[in-house]
Amino acid sequence: IVAIIICLAIFVLIYFLQIEIHKLFIIAAISFGIIITFLIPVGNVPDEANAHITTAYHYSNMILGIDDNSNNVKERKSDRDTMYSYGYVDNEKFTKYLHDIKQAKIDTTLVDSGLKIFNANLFSFTYYLSAIGITVGRILGLNGILCLLLGRLLNILFVVTIGYCLKIIPAYKEILAFISLLPITIQQAFSLSYDSIVITLAFLITTLTIVMFYENKLTKKQYGLLLVSCILVSVCKSFSYFPIVLAPISYFAYKLNIKEKLLAQKKWFYFVIGGVFIIFAGIAFVYLRKHVVEGSLLYLVVHPKLLYIYFRDTIYLQMEVFVSSALGGKLGLLHIMIYNPIMICYYILLFYIITYTTKEKCVLNNWIRVIFVAIFLICFVGILLAMYNWSYTMGFLENNNILGFQGRYMLPVMPILFIALSKGQKQRNKNILFQNVDATHFFVSKMLMTHN
């Protein structure tokens, strides 16, 4: 009911007040973020139940100056009894969740949880906002569930950043807004996982790249944001998300006319470069084939036949899961019947946005579009190889099927893909069209005057 009221309010804002899209996004994202935050019981966002809750709580302990062990995190006794009870929610667990959320009696005695944190290493900073929210809740004397919900809500940095992106991006606003408001994006953005920061950084990099292509410049502040974002996203599962950095690099390569310079080279130059590349690639291939063990990240790369078989069978068996989980799937929500028709509307809207909404002058040439698609594919292959390693380690590999891959992993690079696939209107074609119409009108007028 609240969601329907919000939708109607946004409709009024669009058609009667003509409010700007970045302001609309902030209203919608905060509203739906709060709804999803409280609708999904803690522990029902993927991997949140143990790894992310425990990790965020550990950093909260550090903020409060509590001597903690990352392999055995200390928690308040009342929190230990309630924070992990609602995974794979059903009606009975949801009733318990509604009851426990009202708990007022807090036992602040610190006890060992027996749980260890997710080893985030360099990207531990992705948990700091959630940790601050949990810390504030503990200082206010709130129960464990409310502390975790505050930790979720403090990831509002996503809303502020995407609002800023929608304000400055000169094209593809609809695509960015649509992907940012997908149920799965809102769920991950308002969760205790590191996905919120990764998605925020990736969307900011994409936005600033498009600004550079369309306006040929950035402010000093924006260059700083771009540099910091590229550095931070590179340390967040670098094997999977480092390729995002290729987006702004493609702009600088484009401005330096690298393509034209390469085309101007003599034929022998290409033979030399190609020969050197083949020699080094061959040496690396032979070395890795002898030393890489089965189940490692690069094992399939040096066994091309196996790579083809695993990718073919996995994509054939899992494609529906990939697409569904990328756009929302069942999320961590209860089985609400109205959710399915809502998702059908999203699918329809998705194709409409890709096909029709980009009305601005198109400045992205085909080579840039190819690079954007390549970024998406490199991330896809990288994550799938990482999941091969995980599936092998966990003993889940069977029938050449790599398990554990979810479409939500591709959220950081979805805007790049959709921008590459979108149909832009080239302004010069439009001018030629009007020139032809004017010429035809002039010719017909002269004919009629002559006839008269």
Token output for 269: 């130059």
Task: Give the other-Cβ count within 10 Å of 222's Cβ.
Answer: 16
* Cα 340 to Cα 29, 329, 345, distances in angstroms: 20, 9, 9
Secondary structure (DSSP) of 285-297:
HHHHHHHPPTTST
Average pLDDT over residues 207-213: 93
Neighbours of 419 (CB within 10 A): 25
∠ CA 214-220-225, rounded to 5° = 80
- Give the SS3 label for residue 446: helix
User: Between the CA atoms of 75, 76, 77 and 80, what dihedral angle is there, to the nearest 10 degrees?
Assistant: -50
Amino acid at 59: Y
* pLDDT tens readout for residues 280-330: 878 877 877 788 888 888 888 888 898 999 999 998 888 888 888 887 766
101, two tokens: 């959320």
Bridge partners of residue 76, in order along the sequence: 110
Mean pLDDT confidence for 406-430: 75
Instruction: Give me the DSSP letters along 53-109.
Output: HHHHHHHHHHHTT---BTTB-EEEHHHHHHTTS-SS--HHHHHHHHHHTT-------
Type and span of the H or E element at 198: helix 195-215
CA distances from 59 to 123, 355, 452 (A): 13, 45, 89
Q: Which two tokens stand for residue 23?
A: 């302001």
Q: For the ranges 202-211, 380-389, 433-442, which has the lowest average pLDDT?
A: 433-442
pLDDT one-digit tens code per residue, 240-268: 888 999 999 988 887 777 656 555 566 66
What is the per-residue pLDDT for 436? 39
DSSP 222: H
Q: What is the 3-state secondary structure (H, E, C) of 382-443?
A: HHHHHHHHHHHHHCCCECCECCCCCHHHHHHHHHHHHHHHCCCECHHHHHHHHHHHHHHHHH
pLDDT single digits (tens) 80-110: 878 888 877 777 888 888 888 888 888 888 8
Helix or strand or coil: residue 269? helix
Does residue 165 contact residue 203 with C-beta atoms inside 8 Å?
yes
How far CA 215 is from CA of 170, 219, 222, 338, 361, in Å, comes to 8, 11, 13, 43, 12
The mean pLDDT value for 199-203 works out to 94
Q: Whole-angstrom Cα distance, residue 227 to residue 205?
A: 9
Tens digit of each residue's pLDDT (9 = 90 or more) over 137-154 = 999 999 989 999 999 988
- Residues ≥6 apart with Cβ < 8 Å to 194: 52, 120, 123, 126, 127, 236
The answer to whether residues 130 and 61 touch, using CB atoms and an 8 Å cutoff, is no
Q: Which residues of 421-433 are buried (b: 16+ CB within 10 A; e: fewer)?
A: ebebeeeeeeeee
Show Cβ contacts of residue 307 under 8 Å, excluding neighbours closer than 6 positions: 300, 301
Confidence class for position 375, pLDDT limits 50, 70, 90: very high
Confidence at residue 355, expressed as pLDDT on a 0 to 100 scale: 62
